[in-house]
Structure 1
Amino acid sequence: MQEVNGKQAQFIVNKKQHHLLFVNSPFCGTCKVAKRMLHYIEDTLEDEKFYELNATLAPEFMQEFNITSVPCLLVVKHGEAVERLYTFNSVPYLLKEMGPYLVKERTQQT
Protein backbone atom coordinates (compact mmCIF):
# COMPACT_ATOMS: atom_id res chain seq x y z
CA MET A 1 0.00 0.00 0.00
CA GLN A 2 1.49 3.29 -1.05
CA GLU A 3 0.96 6.17 1.36
CA VAL A 4 0.11 9.53 -0.21
CA ASN A 5 -0.63 13.02 1.05
CA GLY A 6 -3.59 15.20 0.07
CA LYS A 7 -1.90 16.75 -2.98
CA GLN A 8 -0.67 13.39 -4.26
CA ALA A 9 -4.15 11.92 -3.74
CA GLN A 10 -5.66 14.75 -5.79
CA PHE A 11 -3.21 14.03 -8.62
CA ILE A 12 -3.96 10.29 -8.51
CA VAL A 13 -7.73 10.66 -8.66
CA ASN A 14 -7.48 12.72 -11.86
CA LYS A 15 -5.83 9.88 -13.79
CA LYS A 16 -7.83 7.94 -16.35
CA GLN A 17 -7.93 4.46 -14.85
CA HIS A 18 -9.58 3.36 -11.61
CA HIS A 19 -7.68 3.91 -8.41
CA LEU A 20 -8.47 2.55 -4.98
CA LEU A 21 -7.76 4.98 -2.18
CA PHE A 22 -7.95 3.79 1.42
CA VAL A 23 -8.81 6.78 3.60
CA ASN A 24 -8.15 6.21 7.29
CA SER A 25 -6.95 7.66 10.56
CA PRO A 26 -4.03 6.36 12.62
CA PHE A 27 -6.19 6.76 15.75
CA CYS A 28 -8.99 4.49 14.48
CA GLY A 29 -9.03 0.86 15.58
CA THR A 30 -11.42 -0.18 12.83
CA CYS A 31 -9.09 1.43 10.30
CA LYS A 32 -6.22 -0.73 11.52
CA VAL A 33 -8.28 -3.91 11.04
CA ALA A 34 -9.39 -2.75 7.57
CA LYS A 35 -5.79 -1.94 6.64
CA ARG A 36 -4.70 -5.47 7.57
CA MET A 37 -7.43 -6.85 5.30
CA LEU A 38 -6.26 -4.70 2.40
CA HIS A 39 -2.64 -5.74 2.98
CA TYR A 40 -3.77 -9.36 2.85
CA ILE A 41 -5.51 -8.73 -0.49
CA GLU A 42 -2.37 -7.07 -1.88
CA ASP A 43 -0.23 -9.98 -0.69
CA THR A 44 -2.62 -12.47 -2.27
CA LEU A 45 -2.63 -10.60 -5.59
CA GLU A 46 1.14 -10.02 -5.34
CA ASP A 47 0.69 -6.40 -6.38
CA GLU A 48 0.11 -3.05 -4.70
CA LYS A 49 -3.46 -2.08 -5.47
CA PHE A 50 -4.28 0.56 -2.90
CA TYR A 51 -3.16 4.06 -2.06
CA GLU A 52 -3.45 5.15 1.57
CA LEU A 53 -4.45 8.61 2.74
CA ASN A 54 -4.40 9.84 6.33
CA ALA A 55 -7.74 11.64 6.67
CA THR A 56 -6.55 13.86 9.52
CA LEU A 57 -3.94 15.44 7.23
CA ALA A 58 -6.25 15.97 4.23
CA PRO A 59 -9.46 17.73 5.36
CA GLU A 60 -9.92 19.47 2.00
CA PHE A 61 -9.80 16.13 0.17
CA MET A 62 -12.30 14.66 2.64
CA GLN A 63 -14.69 17.51 2.01
CA GLU A 64 -14.26 17.54 -1.76
CA PHE A 65 -15.02 13.82 -2.06
CA ASN A 66 -17.73 13.90 0.62
CA ILE A 67 -16.09 11.23 2.76
CA THR A 68 -18.23 11.09 5.87
CA SER A 69 -16.29 8.62 8.02
CA VAL A 70 -13.25 6.39 8.17
CA PRO A 71 -12.29 3.82 7.18
CA CYS A 72 -13.37 4.47 3.61
CA LEU A 73 -12.28 2.72 0.46
CA LEU A 74 -12.79 5.24 -2.33
CA VAL A 75 -12.87 4.16 -5.96
CA VAL A 76 -12.11 7.04 -8.30
CA LYS A 77 -11.86 7.45 -12.04
CA HIS A 78 -11.30 10.68 -13.99
CA GLY A 79 -11.52 12.68 -10.78
CA GLU A 80 -14.96 11.33 -9.91
CA ALA A 81 -15.88 9.08 -7.00
CA VAL A 82 -17.28 5.92 -8.56
CA GLU A 83 -17.88 4.11 -5.28
CA ARG A 84 -17.35 4.50 -1.54
CA LEU A 85 -17.08 1.51 0.74
CA TYR A 86 -17.39 2.10 4.48
CA THR A 87 -18.01 -1.51 5.56
CA PHE A 88 -15.06 -3.87 5.90
CA ASN A 89 -16.79 -7.08 7.01
CA SER A 90 -14.19 -9.58 5.78
CA VAL A 91 -11.60 -10.21 3.09
CA PRO A 92 -14.07 -12.23 0.94
CA TYR A 93 -16.59 -9.37 1.23
CA LEU A 94 -13.96 -6.84 0.09
CA LEU A 95 -12.92 -9.07 -2.80
CA LYS A 96 -16.55 -9.38 -3.87
CA GLU A 97 -17.20 -5.65 -3.68
CA MET A 98 -13.89 -4.49 -5.16
CA GLY A 99 -13.30 -7.45 -7.49
CA PRO A 100 -14.25 -5.66 -10.70
CA TYR A 101 -11.78 -2.87 -9.97
CA LEU A 102 -9.00 -5.23 -8.89
CA VAL A 103 -9.38 -7.50 -11.92
CA LYS A 104 -9.70 -4.61 -14.35
CA GLU A 105 -6.50 -3.02 -13.05
CA ARG A 106 -4.67 -6.32 -13.27
CA THR A 107 -5.63 -6.92 -16.93
CA GLN A 108 -4.63 -3.36 -17.85
CA GLN A 109 -1.15 -3.90 -16.44
CA THR A 110 -0.43 -7.11 -18.38
Structure 2
Amino acid sequence: MEEVTIQQLDELIQQEEFVCLYVYTPMCGTCQLANRMVSIVQELVSHVAFRKTDINYMPDRAVSWEIESVPCLLLFRNGEMKKKLYAFQSVPYLYEVIQELQKP
Protein backbone atom coordinates (compact mmCIF):
# COMPACT_ATOMS: atom_id res chain seq x y z
CA MET A 1 0.00 0.00 0.00
CA GLU A 2 1.42 3.33 -1.05
CA GLU A 3 1.95 6.11 1.51
CA VAL A 4 0.42 9.46 0.49
CA THR A 5 0.64 13.10 1.48
CA ILE A 6 -2.47 15.20 2.04
CA GLN A 7 -2.07 16.87 -1.36
CA GLN A 8 -1.71 13.51 -3.15
CA LEU A 9 -4.69 12.18 -1.24
CA ASP A 10 -6.92 15.11 -2.15
CA GLU A 11 -6.07 14.64 -5.83
CA LEU A 12 -6.68 10.89 -5.63
CA ILE A 13 -10.07 11.30 -3.92
CA GLN A 14 -11.19 13.63 -6.71
CA GLN A 15 -9.83 11.42 -9.52
CA GLU A 16 -10.86 7.93 -8.40
CA GLU A 17 -14.39 6.65 -7.91
CA PHE A 18 -13.43 4.51 -4.88
CA VAL A 19 -10.62 5.24 -2.42
CA CYS A 20 -9.77 3.40 0.80
CA LEU A 21 -7.47 5.32 3.11
CA TYR A 22 -5.80 3.40 5.91
CA VAL A 23 -4.84 5.74 8.77
CA TYR A 24 -2.29 4.56 11.33
CA THR A 25 0.62 5.48 13.61
CA PRO A 26 3.96 3.66 13.45
CA MET A 27 4.00 2.79 17.17
CA CYS A 28 0.54 1.16 17.16
CA GLY A 29 0.71 -2.64 17.40
CA THR A 30 -2.92 -3.08 16.36
CA CYS A 31 -2.20 -0.90 13.32
CA GLN A 32 0.45 -3.36 12.14
CA LEU A 33 -2.06 -6.22 12.20
CA ALA A 34 -4.74 -4.06 10.55
CA ASN A 35 -2.25 -3.09 7.82
CA ARG A 36 -1.78 -6.75 6.93
CA MET A 37 -5.54 -7.26 6.78
CA VAL A 38 -6.07 -4.24 4.53
CA SER A 39 -3.21 -5.37 2.27
CA ILE A 40 -4.93 -8.73 1.74
CA VAL A 41 -8.23 -7.02 0.89
CA GLN A 42 -6.35 -4.71 -1.49
CA GLU A 43 -5.26 -7.75 -3.50
CA LEU A 44 -8.87 -8.97 -3.70
CA VAL A 45 -10.34 -5.67 -4.94
CA SER A 46 -7.66 -4.32 -7.24
CA HIS A 47 -10.01 -1.79 -8.88
CA VAL A 48 -10.19 0.25 -5.64
CA ALA A 49 -7.42 2.76 -4.86
CA PHE A 50 -5.85 1.85 -1.50
CA ARG A 51 -3.49 4.27 0.22
CA LYS A 52 -2.18 4.80 3.73
CA THR A 53 -1.11 7.77 5.79
CA ASP A 54 0.41 8.38 9.22
CA ILE A 55 -2.08 10.41 11.26
CA ASN A 56 0.84 12.28 12.88
CA TYR A 57 1.42 14.09 9.56
CA MET A 58 -2.18 15.21 9.12
CA PRO A 59 -3.49 16.52 12.46
CA ASP A 60 -5.83 19.09 10.87
CA ARG A 61 -7.40 16.46 8.63
CA ALA A 62 -7.75 14.08 11.58
CA VAL A 63 -9.83 16.75 13.32
CA SER A 64 -11.95 17.65 10.28
CA TRP A 65 -12.61 13.97 9.51
CA GLU A 66 -13.28 13.33 13.22
CA ILE A 67 -10.85 10.42 13.44
CA GLU A 68 -11.16 9.19 17.02
CA SER A 69 -8.48 6.49 17.06
CA VAL A 70 -6.21 4.36 14.92
CA PRO A 71 -6.24 2.11 13.07
CA CYS A 72 -8.95 3.68 10.95
CA LEU A 73 -10.12 2.92 7.43
CA LEU A 74 -11.84 5.74 5.56
CA LEU A 75 -13.90 4.78 2.53
CA PHE A 76 -14.52 7.41 -0.13
CA ARG A 77 -16.85 7.21 -3.10
CA ASN A 78 -17.00 9.93 -5.77
CA GLY A 79 -15.01 12.37 -3.62
CA GLU A 80 -17.13 11.97 -0.48
CA MET A 81 -16.36 10.01 2.68
CA LYS A 82 -18.99 7.28 2.97
CA LYS A 83 -17.74 5.15 5.85
CA LYS A 84 -15.25 5.17 8.71
CA LEU A 85 -14.14 1.88 10.29
CA TYR A 86 -12.27 1.38 13.54
CA ALA A 87 -13.05 -2.29 14.25
CA PHE A 88 -11.57 -4.20 11.33
CA GLN A 89 -12.81 -7.58 12.67
CA SER A 90 -11.59 -9.81 9.79
CA VAL A 91 -10.50 -9.85 6.17
CA PRO A 92 -13.91 -11.17 5.00
CA TYR A 93 -15.65 -8.39 6.96
CA LEU A 94 -13.49 -5.68 5.35
CA TYR A 95 -14.03 -7.22 1.93
CA GLU A 96 -17.82 -7.20 2.40
CA VAL A 97 -17.85 -3.58 3.61
CA ILE A 98 -15.88 -2.46 0.55
CA GLN A 99 -18.05 -4.53 -1.80
CA GLU A 100 -21.17 -2.98 -0.25
CA LEU A 101 -19.76 0.52 -0.82
CA GLN A 102 -19.46 -0.21 -4.53
CA LYS A 103 -23.12 -1.07 -5.03
CA PRO A 104 -25.05 1.63 -6.91
| Residue identity matched to 1:89 | Q
Alignment RMSD (CA, Å): 2.0
The number of residues matched between the two structures is: 102
1:19-48 C-alpha deviation (Å, 9 max, x unpaired): 111111111111100000111222345677
| Counterpart in the other structure of 1:10 | 10
Aligned in 2, Cα 1:65/1:17: closer, same or farther, shift over 3 Å?
same
The more displaced of 42-51 and 52-61 is 42-51
TM-score (norm 2): 0.82
| Counterpart in the other structure of 1:51 | 51
Distance 1:45 1:81 in 2: 18
The more displaced of 64-73 and 12-21 is 12-21
**Aligned counterparts, 1:75-94, within 5 A:** 75-94=75-94
TM-score (norm 1): 0.78
| Counterpart in the other structure of 1:67 | 67
Unaligned runs of 5+ in 2: none
1:51-98 C-alpha deviation (Å, 9 max, x unpaired): 101101111111121111111110113442111011111111111222
Aligned in 2, Cα 1:28/1:45: closer, same or farther, shift over 3 Å?
same
Query: Taking every aligned residue pair, what percent have the same amino acid on both sides?
Result: 32
| Counterpart in the other structure of 1:21 | 21
Three-state SS of the structure 1 residue aligned to 2:27 is coil
